[in-house]
Amino acid sequence: MIKRILLFLLLVILVLAAVLIFNTLNFKSKQLSVAALPAPEMPTSALQHFKDAIKYQTISDGDSSHLDSAQFFGFHKFLEHTYPRVHSTLAHESVAKYSLLYKWEGTNPALPPIILMAHQDVVPIEEETKKMWSVDPFEGVVKDDFIWGRGTTDDKINLISIMEAAEKLLGEKYQPERTLYFAFGHDEEMGGTGAQAIAALLQTRGIKADLVLDEGGIITKDKVPGMTKPVALIGTSEKGYLSLELEVEKSGGHSSMPESETSIDILAKALVNLRKEPFHPEFSESTMEFMEHIGPELPFLQKLVFANPWLFKSIIIGIYSRTGSGNAIIRTTAVPTIFKAGVKDNVIPTVAKVTVNFRLLPGDKGEVIIAEVKDRIHDDRVKIAPTRSFIAEASPVTPGDSFAYKKVDEAIKQTFPNTITSPFLMIGGTDSRYFGEVSSGIIKFSPMVDPIGFHGIDERVSLDSYQSAMWFFEQLMRNTR
Ligand SMILES: [Zn+2]
């Protein structure tokens, strides 16, 4: 009897091994075979233009009434005199006062257009971090083969590279086959009302684009475990955004005679309960496609794991859960970002508030998450309400076999030699989330290699990245068939 059980087990193991190996051997590469084209030398004028662009303090500090209109209008003037061909050939207009929309008429009006996006605004420099910068963040410093400054990586590299490419092509009398739009929002870092207005305007004009390309995933040399080649992470969907305010009101008083529980205690307990367990993990469509694109390029054992997610799902989730960035790809996240209570050391505050920021995984609707939050906290004394009247749900997915994905994939292969490309779920939000009615082919990708200091100190991007970014947009504009 035991012998028969053992034999049966052996058979199961053999069949399982055969299935795993079969799937692994049939796990074929999805990489486009497109030859890379060597990028030309960077003209010194292009470098000067990027440096100049950094000098405009087009800051979004979270309060639209603080917007410094002189900086934005100055930036527009700078664009006008730096890119004269663009401004004399392309139709251009301001939208929502500070956002910019350009239209480069294509030779074939029957083809749906392509929209290239970037945003003009940058995040502020936190007062406490000013001293920590090794350069003046708004000077446009070039040193150690990097361009330094606020906005270099986010997002002026894209805006300036698009302009450089267009100006160059216009100099060659090039005309795209499809109509190209450039859409440059002015307040991406605080909600993106500019991009929203542009999207609404294009909608009223009946524009349906085949591709909308906005900032997003980057090219990374070491962030994908097991990969020896650089990987271009092409955002094909983005997570949703929701902030909740949790508030507790309980009469305070003198700190010399405290009750057993104060507003701060209740709120702290609510936070602990909310964060005790992570939200349920799931592979979104973009993540599934990521595994299908990356998997075949990995060494055999890792390839075997990605070729058989039906068996190894829990192992993959375990690995992803270990880091903040990995965890964010497989589940909705929640983190307290603002905590407010108390004014004086001997007064128990009556009101305690915390803002919790959620990033919603595709499939996790905001309302469902709010219900789960209430359930987890399970305390009626804690009032829970969204900080804004709307919830930005996760975006729809642009498939890896769509025109939009393929166009971007092709341009990456042309401009970044030896790079593996892959769909990917964007963790952060972008202006392109407003373009769902304008296009079903929305891609979030920034053509730069491992930028540094994104939203932080000593933000910078390499000269090579800038050179490739211009080259990337040039190829994309040439491939407009
Ligand atoms: Zn950005």
Residue 329 belongs to domain with CATH number: 3.30.70.360
The pLDDT confidence band at residue 63, using thresholds 50, 70 and 90, is confident
Is 458 a residue of the active site? Answer: no
Instruction: Give residue 333's pLDDT.
Output: 97
Mean pLDDT computed over 372-379? 97
Domain end, chosen from 368, 386, 404, is at 386
Helix ranges restricted to H, 26-127: 44-55, 69-82, 84-89
Tell me which DSSP letter residue 2 carries: H
329 membership: H or E segment, kind and range:
helix 324-330
Cα-to-centroid distance, 449 and ligand 1 (Å): 15
Contact 142, 51 (CB under 8 A): yes
Domain end, chosen from 386, 417, 438, is at 386
Instruction: Give residue 1's pLDDT.
Output: 78
Q: Kindly state whether residues 281 and 328 are assigned to the same domain.
A: yes
Q: Kindly state whether residues 231 and 95 are assigned to the same domain.
A: yes
Q: Kindly state whether residues 72 and 149 are assigned to the same domain.
A: yes
Q: Kindly state whether residues 102 and 128 are assigned to the same domain.
A: yes
Tell me which DSSP letter residue 156 carries: I
Mean pLDDT computed over 381-398? 89
Q: Kindly state whether residues 97 and 195 are assigned to the same domain.
A: yes
Instruction: Give residue 223's pLDDT.
Output: 84
Cα-to-centroid distance, 367 and ligand 1 (Å): 27
Q: Which residues of 222-257 are buried (b: 16+ CB within 10 A; e: fewer)?
A: eebeebeebbbbbbbbbbbbbebebbbebebeeeee
- Whichever domain contains 188, its CATH number is 3.40.630.10
Residue 33 domain flag: no
Q: Kindly state whether residues 267 and 202 are assigned to the same domain.
A: no
Q: Kindly state whether residues 97 and 125 are assigned to the same domain.
A: yes
Domain end, chosen from 386, 405, 423, is at 386
DSSP states of 240-284: EEEEEEEEEE---EETTS--S--HHHHHHHHHHHHHSSPPPP---
Q: Kindly state whether residues 363 and 262 are assigned to the same domain.
A: yes
The pLDDT confidence band at residue 2, using thresholds 50, 70 and 90, is confident
Q: Kindly state whether residues 173 and 192 are assigned to the same domain.
A: yes
Cα-to-centroid distance, 105 and ligand 1 (Å): 27
Residue 37 domain flag: no
Full residue range of the structural domain in which residue 153 is found: 44-235+396-478
- The CA distance from 206 to 212, in Å, is 15
Instruction: Give residue 389's pLDDT.
Output: 62
Instruction: Give residue 126's pLDDT.
Output: 87
* Percentage of residues in the chain having pLDDT higher than 90: 89
Instruction: Give residue 62's pLDDT.
Output: 80
pLDDT digits (tens, 9 = 90+) for 108-156: 999 999 999 999 999 999 888 999 999 999 999 999 999 999 999 999 9
Triad 29, 30, 35: Cα angle to 5°: 100
Catalytic residue, chosen from 155, 164, 167, 188, is: 188
Residue 36 domain flag: no
Number of domains in the chain: 2
Instruction: Give residue 462's pLDDT.
Output: 95
Is 121 a residue of the active site? Answer: yes
Mean pLDDT computed over 254-280? 95
Q: Kindly state whether residues 257 and 363 are assigned to the same domain.
A: yes
The pLDDT confidence band at residue 390, using thresholds 50, 70 and 90, is low
Cα Rg of the chain, angstroms: 25
Residue 185 domain flag: yes
Q: Kindly state whether residues 270 and 229 are assigned to the same domain.
A: no
Residue 107 domain flag: yes
Contacts of 257 (CB under 8 A, 6+ apart): none
Residue 403 domain flag: yes
Instruction: Give residue 439's pLDDT.
Output: 97
Question: Against a cut of 0.85, is the pTM above it?
Answer: yes
Cα-to-centroid distance, 58 and ligand 1 (Å): 13
- The CA distance from 339 to 67, in Å, is 26
Q: Kindly state whether residues 329 and 435 are assigned to the same domain.
A: no
Residue 215 domain flag: yes
Mean pLDDT computed over 236-261? 93
Mean pLDDT computed over 381-407? 91
Cα-to-centroid distance, 151 and ligand 1 (Å): 8
> Is the model's pLDDT at 275 over the cut of 80?
yes
Residue 12 domain flag: no
Instruction: Give residue 253's pLDDT.
Output: 86
Residue carrying structure tokens 């979030």: 444
Cα-to-centroid distance, 122 and ligand 1 (Å): 7
And the tokens for 58? 């087009």
